[in-house]
Structure 1
Amino acid sequence: MKRRLLSLLIVTLFGSIFSLTASAATASQPPTFVSVVMDGKKIWFPDAQAFIDENERTLVPVRFVAQSLGAQVGWESKTQAVPITRDAQSITLKINENVVQVDGKAVTLDTKAILSGGRTFVPLRFVSEVLGATVKWDAPTGTVFITTSENDSAQIDQWGRMIRATKLPKNASDYPYILADVPNEMYEMGYPHSYPKDSRVANVLYSTIPEFNKRNVDIWMKRLKTFGALWLNVDYNTIDDAWAKAVFATKVQSSDAELKYIRRYVEWVKANKVQIEGYLDPEPSMIYKDGFGDNFVRSKFRIKFVSYKESKDLLYDEWFPKKQVFQKGIWYEGYADIAISTNVGGDWGTTLKVSPGASLFYNQIIRKAVSE
């Protein structure tokens, strides 16, 4: 009973925290994507991401969270109902309703289950608590941690991620550790062009350079996520000069010339009727210094080109492929090394921002996503 009361207090507390940070997304103020880590492993949502609704509650795609918790998720199209079962427990949610049946008893939520982009979204904390998990919110990284069981033997990194010691990538020594939820393909991807004498792999950076500490890296990752949310979510109906200034603000500002180029891209988006959806998820333990002044953060991404008239310059990216044609309405996924740098000397730890030449295509693996 005490644990249950504590869990309810946690829900209330973090609802208050979200109310301080949540606001309606606009072209220049993108949605804040919420990362979800369960028992030390990140849930990689295939398309729609967790978000904060108008009631200041975090909503997640129910299928992937519930399945990660060992539950079975169904769909009843006639009644618009989503049955969830786990062992002897049963939950039935209905779209656009906030009354849920839990083991035959009615429970009223503070927000409704909704259908968006073909996915059912539900309040993360309710599903977690009903299925026996505990929830913790980490504000600096924008991460929800869900714990279903204690594992005292597991090694956890400083971002709450589980470390593995088996089936390691060929270049495991390049990294401070290898994560359980990251495939070897991401680790073994080739590095961007570099100057060998001054280049440094992640293991060396974290073990020898004081600026590579959690406080600084959290700042860098937050800037990258903000940049990615703007960069990969574009709509010709809403894009404006505020968007251009917001993108410019995430970058190292050595010259106002780049703002001029960003504004040209805004005009092209309008003329070419460009609409893009996507997300960028940088991995803090995978940073590479190229020796030319940039640090590259390996990032997982998904992107969908919803609308365009001409398949060119769809992103603000000088390396955007000139010959590859991206199909409309198809999710693409992969990994990319996104450059961050600074023009500040001395104590530069907090100053790294997105480099002017940062690209999704400079050093990447990209392919059509597998539908789920």
Structure 2
Amino acid sequence: MKRRFVSLLIVALFGSLFGLTASAASIQPTFVSVVMDGKKIWFPDAQAFIDGNGRTLVPVRFVAESLGAKVGWESKTQTVPISRGEQSIKLTINEPVVQVDGKSVTLDTKAILSGGRTFVPLRFVSEVLGATVDWDNPTDTVFIHTSEDSAAQSDQWGRLIRTTNLPRNASDYPYILADVPNEMYEMDYPHSYPKDSRVSAALYSTIPEFNKHNVGIWMGRLKTFGALWLNVDYNTIDDAWVQAVFATKVQSSNSELKYIQRYVEWVKENKIQIEGYLDPEPSMIYKDGFGDNFVRSKFRIKFVSYKESKDLLYDEWFPKKQVLEKGVWYEGYTDIALSTNVGGDWGSTLKVSPGASLFYNHVIRKAVSE
């Protein structure tokens, strides 16, 4: 029972910075991936965020109720009681002390209220629930361990590899991950030049730049780009957002800067608000033969507000005929282009291509309600 509670509670841990739109006060939001016991966790909503002290806070009600735990709310004392089996946990808003079976546990930050939800610090997971937590800085990933399986095979990022129920194009990839569905592997590749195109199995086995260090840098840049790109608010967007997005792109000229500035003007005029995240898969990269390396990524996006369903994203491939409804979570897979204008050892220079799009080569659908 304890392990089930710990494991499921962690499922709702970290995620993107939903609710933290980019502004001068929050200019580099970063999506945080979570890998628990070798499997990546994708979150439906109520994502965690990083506070001003650099600590990750998680939504406790969503988490606990996902487990089937009982969660209460005592408004008079601003207290959240949680019970699971015979264990009793009590949190108090804006207090660093948690009561666990009548004993006090002091955390390094406090439980807070945000958007009507109670958020608790990561240390709650490690100290109160007994999980081991590691942080990988290049890829902004939290690794949470509740068990050890010495026989399990993992990739260089600590992800479990599977050898059964493989996708029909399994040979295109260096390995197949246990937490990635075949649908994501079997998605069509972007338009390419057949002579020079390469699948990820070939890239990793033949090109020196495809090593853990470089790929970690690329994934970090993609996450930063996605967190800016898919989190927009007409109330707060400003030139700092423009400069931050521009910095994630390949710098061939300043012309794109003007396009980003025009998009910001449209965001304000059209009263656009968007929440979302982009989660790239490092083992799923495709070279199209025209100079771009496409990284397959999972995404979630919600269009909170707009006057016209037009050009809601900074994306030249934004659908003109498909109407994306307000307040609805959409999810899917997309291939995001990375490129460079540097020859030779280009590994560390790869950045988001000016033509990168959520809709160029993608699958999108309404998310299933949780």
TM-score, scaled relative to structure 1: 0.87
1:189 aligns with 2:190: no
Name the CA shift for 1:67/1:186 in 2 (closer, same or farther; >3 Å).
farther
Partner in structure 2 of residue 283 of structure 1: 281
1:29 is aligned, of 12, 27, 52, to: 27
Deviations 1:271-308 (A, max 9, x none): 11111111111110100111111110001111111111
Q: 1:48-63, aligned counterparts within 5 Å?
A: 48-62=46-60
Partner in structure 1 of residue 87 of structure 2: 89
Structure 1 distance, partners of 2:181, 2:123, is 28
Name the CA shift for 1:62/1:157 in 2 (closer, same or farther; >3 Å).
farther
SS at match of 1:111: coil
1:74 aligns with 2:63: no
Partner in structure 2 of residue 359 of structure 1: 357
SS at match of 1:215: helix
Structure 1 distance, partners of 2:277, 2:123, is 23
Partner in structure 2 of residue 158 of structure 1: 156
Amino acid at match of 1:335: Y
Structure 2 distance, partners of 1:77, 1:57, is 24
Count residues in correspondence: 348
1:104 aligns with 2:63: no
Structure 2 distance, partners of 1:57, 1:164, is 33
Structure 1 distance, partners of 2:355, 2:21, is 30
| Gapped regions of structure 1 (runs ≥ 5) | 1-22
Shift of 1:87: 5.1
1:208 aligns with 2:228: no
Structure 2 distance, partners of 1:81, 1:371, is 28
Are the equivalent residues in 2 in contact too, given 1:37–1:161 (CA < 8 A)? yes
Partner in structure 2 of residue 114 of structure 1: 112
Are the equivalent residues in 1 in contact too, given 2:70–2:84 (CA < 8 A)? no
Name the CA shift for 1:74/1:142 in 2 (closer, same or farther; >3 Å).
same
Partner in structure 2 of residue 310 of structure 1: 308
Structure 2 distance, partners of 1:368, 1:118, is 24
Are the equivalent residues in 1 in contact too, given 2:294–2:337 (CA < 8 A)? yes
SS at match of 1:350: helix
Name the CA shift for 1:324/1:116 in 2 (closer, same or farther; >3 Å).
farther
TM-score, scaled relative to structure 2: 0.88
Name the CA shift for 1:104/1:306 in 2 (closer, same or farther; >3 Å).
same
Partner in structure 2 of residue 19 of structure 1: none
Partner in structure 2 of residue 222 of structure 1: 220
Are the equivalent residues in 2 in contact too, given 1:302–1:334 (CA < 8 A)? yes
Structure 1 distance, partners of 2:194, 2:239, is 40
Shift of 1:346: 1.0
Shift of 1:84: 3.9
Deviations 1:7-26 (A, max 9, x none): xxxxxxxxxxxxxxxx9963
Name the CA shift for 1:290/1:131 in 2 (closer, same or farther; >3 Å).
same
Are the equivalent residues in 1 in contact too, given 2:65–2:71 (CA < 8 A)? no
| Gapped regions of structure 2 (runs ≥ 5) | 1-19
Deviations 1:217-252 (A, max 9, x none): 011111111111111111111112221121111111
Name the CA shift for 1:118/1:204 in 2 (closer, same or farther; >3 Å).
farther
Are the equivalent residues in 2 in contact too, given 1:37–1:143 (CA < 8 A)? yes
SS at match of 1:322: coil
